[in-house]
Amino acid sequence: VKVCTVVGFPLGATTSTVKAFETKEAIQNGADEIDMVINVGALKSGDLALVESDIRAVVEASGDKLVKVIIEACLLTDQEKVLACQLAQKAGSDFVKTSTGFSTGGATIADVRLMRETVGPDMG
């Protein structure tokens, strides 16, 4: 059984330094995979550089472990969903995910379709 944990829960508002620390600590304690929540506030305010560097910090801290980026799609416009997926891909993550299950909605067929169209078949 693989162990996965989430960093930056629930809205990704912690700093990149904290997320990287959480990632390293989780791996040291046996995590095989890391789910991270993007900084929703930064994305919505247009600070794309912060979102990308935030994801990259977790990817770098994870070493060879899988990193899955949760975009919390129910809080985003379609344009923001596309941007979030592009940033996750550019920063080197392995997967994109729709939601934490904490907010107002979960996965929808339309969101999954949009995310797949954005990242293509080679990214989970």
Report pLDDT digits (tens) over 49-92: 999 999 999 999 999 999 999 999 999 999 999 999 999 999 99
Question: What is the reported pLDDT for 77?
Answer: 96
CB 36 within 8 A of CB 44: no
Question: What is the reported pLDDT for 106?
Answer: 79
pTM: predicted TM-score of the whole model, two decimal places: 0.93
Question: What is the reported pLDDT for 117?
Answer: 96
Which has the minimum average pLDDT: 18-22, 31-35, 75-79, 104-108? 104-108
Average pLDDT over residues 20-43: 97
CA dist 84 and 13 (Å) reads 15
Question: What is the reported pLDDT for 105?
Answer: 78
All structural domains of the chain: 4-119 (3.20.20.70)
